[in-house]
Amino acid sequence: MLMNLLFVVALVLPPVEAFNHGNQLYAQKDYAGAAKSYEQALQAGPNARVYYNLGNAMFKAGHVGKAVLDYRRARYLDPRDPDVKANLAFARSFRVDKTPVLPSPFAAMMGAALHTLSHREAATGAAVAFTLGALALALWIVRRWTATLVAAIAFAAVSLWCFASQQAWAAEVAAHPAVVIVPEAGAGSGPSDDAKQILQVHDGTEVRIRETRGDWLLIQLPGGAGGWIKKDAVERVY
Burial of 231 (0-12, 13-18, 19+ CB in 10 A): middle
Which lies closer to other proteins via its Cβ, residue 76 or residue 216?
A: 76
Which lies closer to other proteins via its Cβ, residue 60 or residue 230?
A: 60
Residue 5 and residue 115: Cα distance in Å, rounded?
38
Which lies closer to other proteins via its Cβ, residue 3 or residue 142?
A: 142
What is the closest distance, in whole angstroms, from the C-beta atom of residue 88 to other proteins in the complex?
9
Which lies closer to other proteins via its Cβ, residue 38 or residue 228?
A: 38
Residues lying near other proteins in the complex (CB under 8 A)? 12-14, 16, 19-20, 23, 26, 41, 44-50, 52-53, 56-57, 59-60, 73, 76-77, 83, 86-87, 90-91, 118-120, 123-124, 126-128, 130-131, 133-135, 137-139, 141-142, 166, 238
Which lies closer to other proteins via its Cβ, residue 57 or residue 229?
A: 57
C-beta separation of 79 from 52 below 8 A: no
Among residues 237, 206, 197, 213, which one has the least CA distance to residue 102?
206
What is the closest distance, in whole angstroms, from the C-beta atom of residue 137 to other proteins in the complex?
6
What is the closest distance, in whole angstroms, from the C-beta atom of residue 196 to other proteins in the complex?
36
What is the closest distance, in whole angstroms, from the C-beta atom of residue 189 to other proteins in the complex?
33
The contacts of residue 79 (CB under 8 Å, 6+ apart) are: 115, 116, 117, 118
What is the closest distance, in whole angstroms, from the C-beta atom of residue 234 to other proteins in the complex?
18
What is the closest distance, in whole angstroms, from the C-beta atom of residue 228 to other proteins in the complex?
27
What is the closest distance, in whole angstroms, from the C-beta atom of residue 87 to other proteins in the complex?
4
Residue 17 and residue 161: Cα distance in Å, rounded?
39
Which lies closer to other proteins via its Cβ, residue 79 or residue 191?
A: 79
Under DSSP, is residue 63 helix (H, G, I), strand (E, B) or coil?
Answer: coil
C-beta separation of 181 from 220 below 8 A: no
Work out whether the CA dihedral 219, 120, 164, 135 comes out positive or negative.
positive
Indicate the pairing of strand 216-220 with strand 177-180.
Answer: unpaired
C-beta separation of 162 from 122 below 8 A: yes
Which lies closer to other proteins via its Cβ, residue 67 or residue 219?
A: 67
C-beta separation of 159 from 133 below 8 A: yes
